[in-house]
Chains A and B, each alone.
Chain A
Amino acid sequence: QQPVQSPQAVILREGEDAVINCSSSKALYSVHWYRQKHGEAPVFLMILLKGGEQKGHEKISASFNEKKQQSSLYLTASQLSYSGTYFCGTPGGANFGNEKLTFGTGTRLTIIP
């Protein structure tokens, strides 16, 4: 079943912060985050492999709560380049790699000057 992301869309002014949530009805073993700009391929941001793990990428970080079957992506001091649609992806099993990803419903982020 497809993970549900919230919010569906958000508009921010440059410099503001945002949180994007990804919730699954199934057990989560890992969460992959991607950003996709219109008409382009998804670009990998990060993978979270363990419950409670937090990782960071420039001003973008994420957390993973296995018990709640949730992951959250945090964007701080947003830049115009952060605009795009963010997807979380989850594999079906516990083995990292070599599995299909089921992508979430997506969150469209628009940053305005």
Chain B
Amino acid sequence: NAGVMQNPRHLVRRRGQEARLRCSPMKGHSHVYWYRQLPEEGLKFMVYLQKENIIDESGMPKERFSAEFPKEGPSILRIQQVVRGDSAAYFCASSPPGGRQYFGPGTRLTVT
């Protein structure tokens, strides 16, 4: 059973561009969580989604950030007009209903 997959693993964007991060949950997992980790810091929750629904987005910045988890395909975290402060590692985790979270390898975003 393949683990949580994220791509790309590394992403470089110039200020003002858009970044799209993808997360494919483990087979049978219908819950997806996105966390952000700034350099030398801990993991901060961003958003929790189930298929086609956002359950909790209390950690998402109000502007420029959005997330979706469509009926078909991976979950996508989208950052518009990136700024240097968006440089971080973005981790996705998935879980089955009522189960613990399994983390993906992360996407390291660098904004130049």
Contacts and interface: CB of A to CB of B under 8 A. Distances in A.
Interface residues of A, number: 22
A34 B102 CA distance: 10
B12 interface: no
Interface stretch (A12-20, A56-64, A68-76, A94-102): A94-102
A97 B59 contact: no
A113 to B, nearest CB: 25
Interface residues of B, number: 24
Nearest to A105: B42
Contacts of B103: 34, 41-44
Given A42-B91, A96-B98, A98-B97, A103 B44 contact: yes
Of listed A87, A99, A100, A105, residue having the most chain B CB within 10 A: A100
A32 B100 contact: yes
Interface in B31-61: 31, 33, 35, 41-45, 48, 56, 58-59
